[in-house]
């Protein structure tokens, strides 16, 4: 009974070709996060939604966009993937902005060729 | 700003050895503290948490105590197993916005 589901698990895209990663949750949590994790590094927060309120990290490249059409779904759009965007992308949810734990999906491994 | 520092890996232990992974933090106020575990090719799973000073989080034989006086949250396990091989991340939930801030991760390898 997975609670945060990411699709696909593995995605291969061409250099410069737009790609969308998806995340869904069955927890009815208010907050959804997107993290980028490169090999042997800590996850890096790209942005998060508190309900429909979008919060972008200051150093997130403009190439990365996100949509949250409803509580359950959130999408990460990479408009023009470069080789440096190859990474594991992690979606997570939490009940609120307070000091509650986050629940992570299994991640999508993005390869750019 | 808030930050988390973990001991560097990789850490290699024999089965049934004692494990300590050090974690210290810098934060404004009283953050919640977490340990997450990541198995190869997988997302992060919450291992344990503590929300206030002197709280002890525990799960699956792992323990960590929130020490405000030393700003630490060291992870310990008395007897590791091969199946504990993974990357362990210490994290805090910032009092400013609540977002998770991770340490750099410590890779643990347990040999039979």
Q: Is the pLDDT of residue B94 over 80?
A: no
Report the mean per-residue pLDDT for chain B: 93
> What is the full DSSP assignment across A42-90?
--EEEEEEETTEEEE-TT--TTEEEE-SSSSEEEEEESS--GGG-EEEE
Per-residue pLDDT of chain A (113 residues; tens, 9 = 90+): 669 999 999 999 999 999 999 999 999 999 999 999 998 789 999 999 999 999 999 999 999 999 999 999 999 999 999 999 999 999 999 988 766 789 999 999 999 99
Strand, helix or coil for residue B83? helix
| CB interface of B with A, residues 27-46, below 8 Å | 31-32, 34, 36, 41-46
Per-residue confidence (pLDDT) for residue A13, from 0 to 100: 96
Please give the Cα distance from A103 to B7 (Å, whole number): 24
Cα-Cα end-to-end distance for chain A: 34
Chain A: give the shortest CA distance to residue B17, in Å.
Answer: 24
Chain A: give the shortest CA distance to residue B93, in Å.
Answer: 5
Residue B54: DSSP 8-state? T
Q: B82 — phi, psi (to 5°)?
A: -55, -35
- From chain B, pick out residues whose CB is under 8 angstroms from the CB of A98: 93, 98
Please give the Cα distance from B9 to B75 (Å, whole number): 14
Nearest to A104 among B43, B97, B98 (CB): B43
Q: Do B98 and A96 touch (CB under 8 A)?
A: yes
- From chain B, pick out residues whose CB is under 8 angstroms from the CB of A109: 41
């Amino acid at each position: 009974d997975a609670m945060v589901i990411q699709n696909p698990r593995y995605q291969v895209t061409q250099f410069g070709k737009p790609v969308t990663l998806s995340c869904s949750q069955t927890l009815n949590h208010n907050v959804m996060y997107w993290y980028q994790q490169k090999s042997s590094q800590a996850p890096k927060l790209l942005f998060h939604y508190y309900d429909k309120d979008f919060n972008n990290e200051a150093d997130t490249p403009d190439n990365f966009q996100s949509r949250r059409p409803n509580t359950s779904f959130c999408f990460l759009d990479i408009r023009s993937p470069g080789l440096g965007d190859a990474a594991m992308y992690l979606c997570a949810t939490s009940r609120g902005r307070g000091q509650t734990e986050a629940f992570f999906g299994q991640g999508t491994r993005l390869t750019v060729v | 700003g808030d930050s988390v520092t973990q001991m560097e890996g990789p850490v290699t232990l024999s089965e049934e050895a004692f494990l300590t992974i050090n974690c210290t933090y810098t934060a404004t106020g009283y953050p919640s503290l977490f340990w997450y575990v990541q198995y190869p090719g997988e997302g992060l799973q919450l291992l344990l948490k503590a929300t206030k000073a002197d709280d002890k989080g525990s799960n699956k034989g792992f323990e960590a105590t929130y020490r405000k006086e030393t700003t630490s949250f060291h992870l310990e396990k008395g007897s590791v197993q091969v199946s504990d091989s993974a990357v362990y991340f210490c994290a805090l939930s910032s009092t400013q916005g609540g977002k998770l801030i991770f340490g750099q991760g410590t890779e643990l390898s347990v040999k039979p």
